[in-house]
Amino acid sequence: MENEVLGSKGLLKKHEFVRILIQCLYSLGYKNSASCLEQESDISCKSSDFEFLEKKVLTGEWDSCLAVLDRVFDEYDDRRNTALYLVLKQCLSEYLKRGETSLALNVLQRQAPMFRVGREKIHMLAFDVFTSKEMEPDGEVDDGSVQDSRRRLLAELVKLIPTPVVIPDRRLEHLVESAVMNQIDACMYHNSWDAVSLYEDHRCGRDQIPSETVQVLVAHKNEVWFVQFSDSGKYLATASSDCTAIIWKVLDDNKVELMHTLQSHQNPVSFVSWSPDDSKLLTCGNAEVLKLWDVETGALRHTFGNNDSGFTVSSCAWFPDSTRLVCGSSDPERGIVMWDTDGNEIKAWRGTRIPKVVDLAVTPDGESMITVFSDKEIRILNLESLVERVISEEQPITSLSVSGDGKFFIVNLSSQEIHLWDLAGEWKQPLKFSGHRQSKYVIRSCFGGLDSSFIASGSEDSQVYIWNLKNKKPLEVLSGHSMTVNCVSWNPRNPRMLASASDDQTIRIWGPGKPNKPENRLDNQKQ
């Protein structure tokens, strides 16, 4: 059987496959079945070398243990000395705890050359062993505790001993899981935390992502410019050129109902931002001041500055504690200001180095602020170290969005591209996504789905575009709006729920599509 192979490609050694199968049966608790398979196949789960080592460890025959370890390891394997040291330490520990110091020294002198290191390192080894608190004499040694410590030693050795002397723990489960993960990675529509079936190769359909309109919201009286789900996914906020913002409630059945209409702005509202705890909402616009609202009551809590003073805010963001916020102005003289929720200025960035702010965001951990300045420049400021990194784009940037884990961000460019950057700065070039239409207006995109695996964006051709991060071409194009789609938002707690805001004065809620429906499906599975 040693040379027999399995599988259509002839890549699997039958002996190894059966041995791993026996190990799996033992790990699942099917000891009788595992034993029967061992007898029928004449293949043992444990190699002869490991069975010998196991016996010698549990009986405390240390010279034999060291000899077998010396044999199974390659001379240049870094794990070899670690394994020898663990056995020697166990041996010396048992001698010293019984007060047999002379025997311990004799073993050390006799076995030290096996380590094949210099005299100085041997002395360091001896000092480490003999000064350890574990080596203090205990008087009468309990046999049960000795066996327990030997079993622990054996478990540590298993982690070090190379294959095929031992099989890595739960090897079959690891191989199957790796195969499943490879299939999931190749699946452009995968968007679920559910366990997958092993009965067939994994391949999701469009029913895994939001691609069908399930509700149309029509409460605004003019173009809808912004939409955003709250961090909990339980609320939705929209902003419109009708000078209002609306807070919507997401119900248990994923239907959306109007909760509060926020009426205080004198000019169009083009931006909203939820506090991380969902209790507060900020609203602002290019010709408007920043306002803070109570989500539960819909009451206006504070107005930051006033229109007469010219302190208008183009974008804003929260810090994770929900007590501090930062806002940027399209007026270069106003710069960027950090406030508390009572309107007290905490910090400000102003001056010639702070040009017009197009958009800004704070990472979920609150450590970095990302700002888009004067159309083409992105600055990433670490708020603790004050280290700043600058990225320059060649085309004007209209918007910015950060991934849920804070590791990536995307910017929409007026050149009809979306660029994905890593926050750590390891990439020299961004990943680029295209297919949507954008040349005249501010179009906003977002991350979404399972592990932020997708990007969604509005478009000037009245459609919503969805990409998988693994493919630069759109996965889905969603039709329904009749005018420019300005902004989209993916529910952070429901990977199959998306909202879009349009110049047609409506907000569309998108839910799971029908499996294998051909309309508007761009089959990129093989691209």
**DSSP assignment of 466-483, as one string?**
EEETT-SS-SEEE---SS
Query: pLDDT tens digits, residue range 350-363?
Result: 776 677 889 999 99
The confidence band for 514, taking pLDDT boundaries of 50, 70 and 90, is: confident
Residue of 390, 425, 395 lying closest to 412 (CA atoms): 395
What pLDDT sits at residue 520?
A: 42
- pLDDT value of residue 73: 92
Residue 356 to residues 13, 284, 400: CA-CA distances in angstroms? 66, 16, 15
Residue 403: pLDDT over 80: yes
The tokens for 10 are 């002839």
Query: In the prediction, which pLDDT does 142 show?
Result: 73
Q: Give percent of the chain with pLDDT exceeding 90.
A: 72
Residue 215 has pLDDT above 90, yes or no: yes
* pLDDT above 60 (res 435): yes
Least confident of 82-86, 229-233, 338-342: 82-86
Peptide bond into 164 cis (omega under 30): yes
Longest CA–CA separation in the chain, Å: 93
What tokens were used for 231?
Answer: 């961090």
For residues 171-196, give the mean pLDDT: 93
Q: Are 281 and 237 a contacting pair, CB within 8 Å?
A: yes
Q: Parallel, antiparallel, or unpaired: how do β-strands 485-490 and 377-382 relate?
A: unpaired
Helix/strand/coil for 115: helix
pLDDT (average), residues 83-106: 85
CA-closest candidate to residue 97, choices 50, 145, 53: 145
Q: Which pLDDT value is given to residue 340? A: 94
CB 341 within 8 A of CB 301: yes
Q: What is the pLDDT of residues 276-306, one digit of tens each?
A: 999 999 999 877 889 999 999 999 999 987 6
Q: Determine the 3-state secondary structure of 216 from DSSP.
A: strand
- For 128-255, strand residue ranges (E) read 210-217, 224-229, 235-240, 244-250
Burial 113-142 (b: 16+ CB within 10 A, else e): eebeeeeeeeeebbeebeeeeebeeeeeee
pLDDT reported for residue 121: 67
3-state secondary structure 242-284: CCEEEEEEECCCCCEEEEEEEECCCCCCCEEEECCCCCEEEEE
Degrees (nearest 5) of the Cα angle 318, 323, 327? 40
90 Cβ contact list (under 8 Å, min separation 6): 62, 149, 150, 153
User: If 0-12 CB within 10 Å is exposed, 13-18 middle and 19+ buried, where does residue 518 land?
Assistant: exposed
Lowest mean pLDDT among 194-208, 373-387, 509-523: 509-523
pLDDT of residue 285: 84
Q: Which residues contact residue 410 at a Cβ distance below 8 angstroms, ignoring those fewer than 6 apart?
A: 400, 401, 403, 418, 419, 420, 421, 445, 446, 447, 455
Length of the chain counted residue by residue:
527
pLDDT band at 307 (very low <50, low <70, confident <90, very high): low
* pLDDT for res 518: 40
Least confident of 19-23, 42-46, 375-379, 514-518: 514-518
Mean pLDDT across the stretch 203-221?
94
pLDDT band at 524 (very low <50, low <70, confident <90, very high): very low
CA distances, 304 to each of 111, 180, 268, 325, 342 (Å) = 77, 52, 17, 11, 9
